[in-house]
Amino acid sequence: MKISELKPGTGNANVEVEVVSVDEAREVMTKLGRRTRVANATIKDDSGEMTLTLWGDDIDRIKEGDKLSIENGWVSEFKGTVQISAGKYGKINVK
C-alpha cells in the first residue's frame, strides 16, 4: 500500500516508508491507568507524508532517515490528523 491510500479505520495496513523526523517523547496515561511514552514521527513514501505514532520501546529504535516496513498497521484519525501505528498486533521493522 501507499500512504495516499491509507484512510482512518484501515486495518492490516502494510507500507514501506522513510522517517522524515521524530518528535520528543511525552508521557501519557493509558486507559488502564498506566504511564507510557508516546511520540509522533513524520513518515513519507513517493505518494505523500503522514504521522506514525510510536509507543514505548519503538520510540528509541526509530531514527530520522530510517527506512521502515510497517506490517499490520492500524490507521486512525486524532485531532484531524490521519496517523498510523503498529497497534496491538502490528510490527515496525527497521531495514
Q: What is the pLDDT of residues 39-94, one digit of tens each?
A: 999 999 999 999 999 999 999 999 999 999 999 999 999 899 999 999 889 999 99
pTM: 0.91
CATH number at residue 77: 2.40.50.140
Can you give the residue range of the structural domain that contains 83?
Answer: 3-94
The mean pLDDT value for 11-36 works out to 93
Selection from 75, 58, 94 nearest residue 13 by Cα = 75
Q: How many domains does the chain have?
A: 1
One-letter amino acid identity for 82?
A: V
One-letter amino acid identity for 69?
A: S
Cell of 87: 497497534
